[in-house]
Chain A
Amino acid sequence: MSDSRRNFLLKSFSATSAAWIAANWPAQVAAAEKAQAMGNFTFFTREQAGEVDAMAAQIYPSNDTPGAREAQVIYFIDLALVTFAQDRQEIYTKGLADLATRTNGRPLATLSADQQIALLTSIEKTPFFRTVRDHTIMGMFASPQHGGNFKKVGWTQIGYDDSLNFRTPFGAYDKAEGTW
């Protein structure tokens, strides 16, 4: 785990229980890392992660360019729900339970792509879907230190250069024009 990611975790956790974290954070982070390496998750059960991953894959699909799966958005969301988005846990828990009733318990990914899109379209106005939509997009375009945007695939797609400073020319039109 990179230093910056560790710092972020520490910072986020510290907002709630600084003393506890100071004593326990390395263990907490190590546990989360280990769980993810094993294909397990910090907040989600494996089944829940599978459902959210399938939703993210429809929200930001993989085609000729990488999508939510390649960006590892599911890890971003899993981490989000125990850090800055702790207040959204219930939206996920309830939303996933509702989704299960709509699929009769079948994993979303086992439906055809068209069926998945139709199902998600039917719930696209719900707070649950909107939250997953926003978290998926954040996982595509937030800094990789937060678990998604793996190898900057999201930033690369939209032509975003994360250099710390820039020199002119910045874009095509000032390049053509020169200076003021």
Chain B
Amino acid sequence: MKKYSPSEEVDFVVIGSGAAGGVMAKQLAVAGFSVVVMEQGAWGAYGHEQDYNKDELINRFPAEQDVLISDPKKHRNTFRRNVNEKAVAGTHSYGCVVGGGTVTYGASSWRHLPWEFDEASRFGTMKGTGIADWPVSYAEIEPYYTQAEWEIGISGPNLKTPLIAPMSKPYPCRPLPLKSSGALVQKAAEKLGLTVTPNVAAIITEPYNGRSGCINCGACSGYGCQTKARSSSAVALLPVAVASGNCEIRVNSYVREITVDASGRATGVTYFDKANDNREVFQKAKCVVLSANGTETPRLLLMSKSSRFPQGLANSSGIVGKYLMTGNGGGASGLFSDPLNEYKGAVTGAAVLSYVPNDVKGRGFYGGGRMTARGQMSPMQYGLAGPHGAPSWGAGYKKALIEQANRRLTMVNFISQLPIETNMVDLDPEVKDAWGLPALRITTTSHENDFKAMQFFIDRSVDILKAAGATQVWSDGVSDSKGGAHARGTCRIGNDPKSSVANKYHRAHDVPNLFIVDGSSLVTGGRNHPTMTISALAYRCADHLVKAAKQGNVTI
């Protein structure tokens, strides 16, 4: 791997190596630019993926060099429902390893539909929300979705229905095999008249780009993939970036500030070298790409205060960190008479698409969602969570645990969530993380509309489970988000510098050589499932950035 000296001015520093950072690093390095990727996590099993551990206990209590997901005890964060509350210790975490969240995610890879890019124009806005059109249309982003799907490696069905975004090219790999969850939901769909499809997943099902297909091992969501079948940035993108001879991945490098000069241009990044007693290092760069995720990206901008940018970098609009969308819960579970064995294979067995479109008049709320059928639980996880409707220990617990084992199906729903200015990421004024930096503070309460949406999807889940023949059905109840995966919206792109953080090519309105692309770029939340859109935005951003940089002008 190419190595650069921190004092050498590289063309690009890319902060983060996940869904967006991996794409940016690969595209920029292959185009011939010098790139240093700053990854605060460790290597994981990059390059020797067979060493990812399937052992559930070790996965849950990893040694320091094997950590895949951030530890809230070190990456301390706080949470509150609204600005009047005092924040308490939070449980927010995210992928923290080379490849970021794509190393451990469930790998759903749905495109946003064309009308999810201009919902304000089509359906109107709503008081108290920040619903807005994206500065990018579906037609503009479609070629980049296709490029992402083929370069990253996506499996899925090739169906023509208004419930799936139109595609100029089919998915490169056939869908994941039918599981019992899929078979049951299909049965229900026939009765209820619903559209059910295999999940679209960044998991290859046959040999592709030098990697082998999924072997259905079942150590899937939350685990690193031992066979490189999950198309993480760490197997699909970063090796290509490194092979170009232009890209260095610098691990254990925790960026604490993007620095600027007197003219307001970014000059590089200051980071803690975690493997060397957290000594501070400055890496000089001509241009900075920020892809640290929907919560860490705004936090880093807010920490990068200077006399020129007193309220944080790229924040003249004051909306860095605002309009946070984290994804909401609400589903139902059922028991069936025979074993489903959902612990085998990929986590998601099927998707129900019928409620994806908006139907404000019919349903009484704005938005929609994609429902997924799943029941995957590792043995310890199942035992600790315990059987439904039973004591938490003793003979009754044991009896129910054995009876219910492998017989559970859960509908997990990915629902629209409205962007609200007061839902945000900012810096906790008191709590510090393990490196002495201000802790991430999450403030969020969903809009009343979204609670209606959650209840709707709970009710539909119950319908489906009953129609599928469940012997017992229960709802998990409406649960408002507290953070976690899928954070979006906190540095929204737009044409107006007063109401957005970056322009349609992801250049920060306030800083000509700073590009912000990741979950934070999303203007509206779609039906959750953000990763494919993040990747496509990054491909589009990189395309324009390469063209501009080749002309010696990264300001576009």
Task: Report chain B residues within 8 Å CB of A134.
Answer: 384
Interface size of B by Cβ–Cβ distance < 8 Å? 49
The reply to whether the CB of A171 lies closer than 8 angstroms to some CB of chain B is yes
Binds A, one of B176-184, B276-284, B516-524: B176-184
Q: Give CA–CA (A64, B388) in the complex, Å.
A: 22
The chain B residue with its CB closest to the CB of A165 is B215
Q: Mark A3-27, 1 if CB is under 8 A from B, else 0.
A: 0000010011011000000000000
Interface size of A by Cβ–Cβ distance < 8 Å? 50
Q: Is the CB of A172 within 8 A of B180?
A: yes
Q: Is the CB of A124 within 8 A of B180?
A: no
The chain B residue with its CB closest to the CB of A134 is B384
Closest CB-CB distance, B397 to chain A, in whole Å? 8
Q: Which of B327-359 contact A (CB under 8 A)?
A: 336, 338-345
Greatest chain B CB density within 10 A among A15, A140, A160 is at: A160
The reply to whether the CB of A82 lies closer than 8 angstroms to some CB of chain B is no
Q: Is the CB of B55 within 8 A of A145?
A: yes
The reply to whether the CB of B123 lies closer than 8 angstroms to some CB of chain A is no
Q: Give CA–CA (A174, B350) in the complex, Å.
A: 12
Q: Is the CB of B63 within 8 A of A154?
A: no
Q: Is the CB of A60 within 8 A of B393?
A: yes
The reply to whether the CB of B368 lies closer than 8 angstroms to some CB of chain A is no
Q: Is the CB of A15 within 8 A of B179?
A: no
Q: Mark A143-180, 1 if CB is under 8 A from B, else 0.
A: 10110000000110111110011111011111111111
Q: Is the CB of B217 within 8 A of A171?
A: no
Q: Is the CB of A168 within 8 A of B402?
A: no
Q: Is the CB of B339 within 8 A of A171?
A: yes
Which one of B54, B383, B393 lies within 8 Å of A124 (CB-CB)? B393
Task: Report chain A residues within 8 Å CB of B179.
Answer: 170-171, 174
The reply to whether the CB of B239 lies closer than 8 angstroms to some CB of chain A is no
Closest CB-CB distance, B211 to chain A, in whole Å? 15
The reply to whether the CB of B362 lies closer than 8 angstroms to some CB of chain A is no
The reply to whether the CB of A95 lies closer than 8 angstroms to some CB of chain B is no
Q: Which of A54-84 contact B (CB under 8 A)?
A: 58-61, 63, 65, 67, 84
Q: Give CA–CA (A178, B184) in the complex, Å.
A: 12
Interface of B is mostly: loop
Q: Is the CB of A173 within 8 A of B216?
A: no
Which one of B63, B343, B402 lies within 8 Å of A15 (CB-CB)? B63
The reply to whether the CB of A137 lies closer than 8 angstroms to some CB of chain B is yes
Q: Mark A30-71, 1 if CB is under 8 A from B, else 0.
A: 000000000000000000000000000011110101010000
Q: Is the CB of B57 within 8 A of A143?
A: yes
Q: Give CA–CA (A166, B340) in the complex, Å.
A: 14
The reply to whether the CB of B253 lies closer than 8 angstroms to some CB of chain A is no
The reply to whether the CB of A117 lies closer than 8 angstroms to some CB of chain B is yes
26 example contacts (A-B, Cβ-Cβ < 8 A) are as follows A12-B61, A61-B398, A85-B61, A117-B394, A133-B393, A137-B384, A138-B57, A138-B380, A141-B382, A142-B57, A143-B57, A157-B402, A158-B379, A158-B382, A158-B383, A160-B379, A166-B344, A168-B177, A170-B180, A170-B345, A171-B339, A171-B344, A172-B180, A172-B340, A173-B340, A179-B178
- Hey, which bits of chain B sit against chain A, CB under 8 A? 54-58, 61, 63-64, 66, 157, 175, 177-180, 182-184, 186-187, 198, 215-218, 336, 338-345, 379-380, 382-384, 392-395, 397-398, 401-402, 405-406
